Amino acid sequence: MDMEDMSGAVKDLAALSTRLLLRLGGNKTNLAFSPLSFHSVLVLLAAGATGETLDQIQSFLGPSGGMAHASLASYVASTILALDADGGAEPDVRCAVGVWVDSSLRLRPAFADKVASQYKAAARAMPFQEKAEEARVDINRWFEDKTGGLIRELMPVGHLNSDTVLVFGNALYLRATWFDPFDPDETVDGDFFLADESSVRVPFMKSRNSQRISCHPGFKVLQLPFEGGGGSGRHSFSMHIYLPDERDGLQALVCELSSDKAGFLDRCVPAQAVEVGDLRIPKFKVSRKIDASLLLQDMGLKRPFWPSHDFAEMVDYSGSLR
């Protein structure tokens, strides 16, 4: 797979990200989600699927095709998300991906080998029918171990039951230090304006150093790189903050972001640092839980959740898999 084909998959992923953003952000609540997590799980689903289910997953991922998305997921798993699997360096990236099937089904060794070698994912049998709660505890413990104790209790009590036959899980963690750190002593309280134009008092991080900022009609983009460039002068990870000029302009900015998926993000990346007089960024913490299966079905991806024989590449079974 050449880089041009994988570049198409990256554009598809950007398009999927904005589709998820529009769907999840419709109620104007604080929101955090990982498009890479959705992508990795969908690629794993495709690796075990056949027939109309496979066709629908690949169509949902985008026009670049299943091979391009498989290559992208493999590249991300083996390079970007494997920067420091054991911790100790900047940035600290932990990623764990797993597939568990009920012990009554025979997991195909070829599938387990494929997802392990290409996507760094685990595929195992689990006694959901007989010991659903013990299985939940074991899976949570696996994620905790793979993330160095950083992600715990990924699945809440009661999330699994005796009807469970298949579980896909993904945990992604990033901890990093700003390349140009903010001075904690400079933190001050200020007004942060919400979508309804009301305001709340929050602590703001401050800086007077030059920053990577680009200005566009109706909004600005700030790029904050994290520490860790591998000695190449480039930074592996950066945070991008999109700020609309109008206080109620966030929804319009999201719509614009989704209207030109192919080149919008690339054009908005700041090209160079500029002088700023007084930069202020609010400190924030966002947490949100969603039912990913319901979300994906609402967005049109329905066949993976229907009873079918379309996962024959993953398991050997006589009845339908639900």
Check whether residue 43 and residue 170 sit in a common domain: yes
Residue 59's pLDDT is: 97
Q: Which amino acid is at 24?
A: L
Residue 10 lies in a domain: yes
The beta strands (E) that lie in 147-251 are given as 166-175, 188-193, 199-207, 211-216, 219-225, 238-244
pLDDT tens across 110-147, in order? 999 999 999 999 999 999 999 999 999 999 999 999 88
**pLDDT above 50 (res 98):** yes
Residues 310 and 247 placed together within one structural domain of the fold: no
- CATH of residue 138's domain is 3.30.497.10
Amino acid (one-letter) located at 273:
A
Residue 232 has a pLDDT of 44
Residue 254 pLDDT grade (very low, low, confident, very high; cuts 50, 70, 90): confident
Q: Does 191 lie in the same domain as 124?
A: no
The pLDDT value given to residue 3: 64
Which of 86-90, 201-205, 296-300, 305-309 is predicted least confidently? 86-90
- Helix intervals (H) in 171-307: 250-259, 264-268, 292-298
**Are both 260 and 299 inside the same structural domain?**
no
pLDDT at 253 over 90: no
- Helical ranges in 186-311 per DSSP H: 250-259, 264-268, 292-298
Average pLDDT, the chain: 86
Residues 6 or more apart whose Cβ sits within 8 Å of residue 172: 34, 36, 37, 81, 94, 95
Evaluate whether residue 160 is within a structural domain: yes
Q: Check residue 314 and give its pLDDT.
A: 94
Q: What is the pLDDT of residue 229?
A: 52
Residue 235 has pLDDT above 70, yes or no: no
**Domain co-membership, 236 together with 308:** no
Do 95 and 31 share a structural domain?
yes
pLDDT of residue 1: 52
Strands lying side by side in the sheet with 219-225: 238-244, 219-225, 211-216, 273-274
The answer on pLDDT for 234 being more than 70 is no
Q: Identify the residue with better confidence: 236 or 165.
A: 165
SS3 of residue 214 by DSSP: strand
Give the strands of the sheet with 92-102, arranged side by side. 122-126, 92-102, 166-175
β-bridge partners, 205: 281
Same domain, 248 and 140: no
Inside any domain, residue 322: no
Q: Which of 33-37, 252-256, 310-314 has the lowest mean pLDDT?
A: 252-256
CA 54 to chain centroid: 21
Most confident range (mean pLDDT) of 7-16, 205-214, 232-241, 308-317 is: 205-214
Of the pLDDT bands very low, low, confident and very high (cuts 50, 70, 90), residue 108 is very high
108 found inside a domain: yes
d(CA 245, CA 160): 46
Tell me 183's DSSP state: P
Q: Are residues 311 and 212 in the same domain?
A: no
Q: Which two tokens stand for residue 258?
A: 């989704």
C-beta neighbour count of 238 within 10 angstroms:
16
- Check whether residue 125 and residue 15 sit in a common domain: yes
Regarding whether 268 and 309 lie in a shared domain, the answer is no
Residue 163 belongs to some domain of the structure: yes
**Which pLDDT belongs to residue 228?**
74
Distance of alpha carbon 198 from the chain centroid = 30
Asked, for residue 213, whether it belongs to a domain, the answer is yes
Measured between alpha carbons, how far is 194 from 190 in angstroms, rounded to an integer? 13
At 230, the pLDDT band (50, 70, 90 cuts) reads very low
- For residues 230-239, average pLDDT: 61
Instruction: Note the pLDDT tens digit of each residue in 264-295.
Output: 667 788 888 999 888 999 988 887 778 888 99
Q: What is the pLDDT of residue 186?
A: 92
Distances (CA, A) of 21 to 17, 123, 259, 297: 6, 30, 12, 15
231: confidence class by pLDDT, cuts 50, 70, 90: very low
Residues 199 and 157 both lie in one domain: no
Residue 59 belongs to a domain: yes
Residue 264 lies in domain: 184-282
Q: Name the domain count of the chain.
A: 2
Classify residue 321: in a domain, yes or no: no
Alpha-carbon separation of residue 274 from 166, 216, 271 (angstroms): 51, 15, 10
- Same domain (yes/no): 267, 218: yes
Beta bridge partners of residue 203, listed in sequence order = 189
Contact assessment for residue 209 and residue 180, using Cβ atoms and an 8 Å cutoff: yes
Higher pLDDT, 11 or 233: 11
